[in-house]
Amino acid sequence: MSIHPQIIEKDGEKEFVVLPYAEFVAMQEALEDYEDLKALRDAKADSVAEANIPYASVRDELLEE
- pLDDT for position 53: 87
Residue-range domain boundaries for the chain: 1-47
Res 65 pLDDT > 80: no
- pLDDT for position 22: 96
Per-residue confidence band for 16, with pLDDT thresholds at 50, 70 and 90: very high
Per-residue confidence band for 64, with pLDDT thresholds at 50, 70 and 90: confident
Per-residue confidence band for 13, with pLDDT thresholds at 50, 70 and 90: very high
Angle (nearest 5°) at CA 50 between 61 and 56: 25
Res 36 pLDDT > 90: yes
pTM over 0.85: no
